[in-house]
Amino acid sequence: MFKRELWRNFDFLLFGGVLFLGVLGVVVVNSAIAGSIGLEGLAQRQAQFLAIGLVVIVGVAIVDYRYLAPLSPIMYMIIIGSLIFIYVFGFAAFGSRRWVTVAGTNIQPSEIARQVLILVLANYFAMKKDEPKNWNWVMQSAALMGLVFILVVIQPDLSSSIVLAVIWFAMIWLAGVPVKYLIYLILIAMLIVAIVLALGILPDYMMRRINNFLVPDEEASYGEQYNIQQALITIGSGGWFGQGYQQSSQVQLRFQKVRHTDFIFSVVAAEFGLVGAGVVMGALLFIFWRCFVIAKNAEDLYGALIAYGIGVVMAFQTVVNIGVNLNLLPVTGLTLPFISYGGSSMVSLCLGIGLVESVAMHTAAKRPDALV
């Protein structure tokens, strides 16, 4: 009886939204390959990653999320160890040492680190919910994020490190930090960014991306500027309803590079038009909304922060990816959730959804009307 009631409270709307975007992602990746021998088989692999991810969602959802709280220190140490291992033994690509090959599959631990950090911070804030929200409270949580942040930065992986910082900032806000502290933290962050840019201490490829965004060379047709130019052309070519599946000249003739990962949104816009792109954005917004509804109805702060944290991460990643495609933000390397190709990204996102589903199931088990 309990099991039936538990599954009845599984959020099938959230699961359906993920399934829809995941299947669409496989379809779009298949088109984005555009006959390239070097990308052959990626659609099939993406389908496999999606299947694994769906199993992960169901498997994680079954486990009561409360059981994970006492395991937070262990999970934290495991992710720290994996990031150190990657830095020492991982292989480099695109100027960063982020991956390690396991059974023929490239694993990127920084993707999983996001979900682990959410669990760790949610447990920290839940345990200290009755303590004063002072600088000591803020700095202790910052230290938990900071160690992971540093290990990701030195890979170097600026985009993932920014996501980690956003997770921390969002969760201290949701945990009830005084507004004046938020203002101080924003000012400190702005000062640090200004100093870093003024001194130019970021890796060369990162500085080039920022410079290309701030002071674009309109005549340049290479590097990151080329990708942005082609992304804008590709998006504009779709019009209202798109050129049709596998019919975009920009995609099929391979003018658009990195089209199966960072710039896959431009492929969606080219083939399915503004309407199709709007459907994708609507589906993503729906997923974020379901996460926030589940968070609102959670029975405890720990569950609420988990669901809020997962929703915030996906929302931030979506805004940045689409912003990059529209040349509203510098190129970062963040993928479009559930659409872009990537095994680590797909499985880690599904892990996050599984955690949110666990909060939904084990909250609604006691409150059948909680998600209505």
- CA neighbor of 76 nearest in space, from 128, 126, 141: 141
Residue with tokens 């792109």: 277
Higher local confidence (pLDDT), 66 or 218: 66
**Residue 257: pLDDT over 90:** no
The domain ranges of the chain are 2-364
Give the per-residue pLDDT at 364: 60
94: left (phi over 0), alpha (psi -120 to 50) or beta: left
Q: How far apart are CA 103 and CA 60, in angstroms?
A: 23
How many C-beta atoms surround the C-beta of residue 30 within 10 A? 18
**Spatial CB neighbours of 105, under 8 Å, sequence gap ≥ 6:** 343
**Residue 204: pLDDT over 80:** no
The stretch 281-293 carries a mean pLDDT of 97
Using 50, 70 and 90 to split pLDDT, how confident is the model at 17? very high
Give the per-residue pLDDT at 106: 65
Helix residue ranges, H only, 34-178: 42-62, 72-89, 109-127, 135-153, 158-174
**Residue 282: pLDDT over 60:** yes
Give the per-residue pLDDT at 1: 39
Give the per-residue pLDDT at 199: 76
Give the per-residue pLDDT at 85: 81
Give the per-residue pLDDT at 120: 96
Q: How far apart are CA 268 and CA 241, in angstroms?
A: 11
The stretch 289-307 carries a mean pLDDT of 95
Average per-residue pLDDT for the chain: 86
**Residue 132: pLDDT over 60:** yes
**Residue 205: pLDDT over 70:** no
How many C-beta atoms surround the C-beta of residue 23 within 10 A? 14
Contact 307, 288 (CB under 8 A): no
DSSP-assigned letters across all residues of 135-167: HHHHHHHHHHHHHHHHHHHTTT-HHHHHHHHHH
Contact 68, 119 (CB under 8 A): yes
Give the per-residue pLDDT at 224: 59
Give the per-residue pLDDT at 41: 87
Higher local confidence (pLDDT), 197 or 166: 166
- CA neighbor of 161 nearest in space, from 134, 194, 138, 193: 193
Q: How far apart are CA 150 and CA 14, in angstroms?
A: 33
Q: How far apart are CA 196 and CA 209, in angstroms?
A: 14
Helix residue ranges, H only, 154-248: 158-174, 179-199, 204-214, 223-237
Give the per-residue pLDDT at 368: 43
Q: How far apart are CA 33 and CA 314, in angstroms?
A: 25
Give the per-residue pLDDT at 52: 96
Q: What is the pLDDT of residues 42-98, one digit of tens each?
A: 999 999 999 999 999 999 999 999 999 999 999 999 999 888 887 776 555 555 556
Contact 17, 279 (CB under 8 A): no
Each as own residue / partner, the long-range contacts of residues 99-104 (CB below 8 Å, 24 or more positions apart, any chain) are none
Q: What is the pLDDT of residues 149-162, one digit of tens each?
A: 988 888 777 888 89
Give the per-residue pLDDT at 98: 60
Q: How far apart are CA 147 and CA 113, in angstroms?
A: 11
194 exposed, middle or buried (CB, 10 Å; 0-12, 13-18, 19+)? exposed
- CA neighbor of 263 nearest in space, from 343, 346, 352, 329: 329
Residue with tokens 């395991």: 71
Give the per-residue pLDDT at 276: 96
Please state the pTM of the whole predicted model: 0.89
How many C-beta atoms surround the C-beta of residue 346 within 10 A? 29
Q: What is the pLDDT of residues 183-201, one digit of tens each?
A: 999 999 899 888 887 777 7
122 exposed, middle or buried (CB, 10 Å; 0-12, 13-18, 19+)? buried
Give the per-residue pLDDT at 55: 97
**Spatial CB neighbours of 184, under 8 Å, sequence gap ≥ 6:** none
Give the per-residue pLDDT at 36: 82
Mean pLDDT is lowest, of 5-19, 83-97, 166-180, for 83-97
Share of the chain above pLDDT 70, in %: 86
Contact 233, 250 (CB under 8 A): yes
**Spatial CB neighbours of 64, under 8 Å, sequence gap ≥ 6:** 358, 362
The tokens for 210 are 């920022």
Beta bridge partners of 363: none
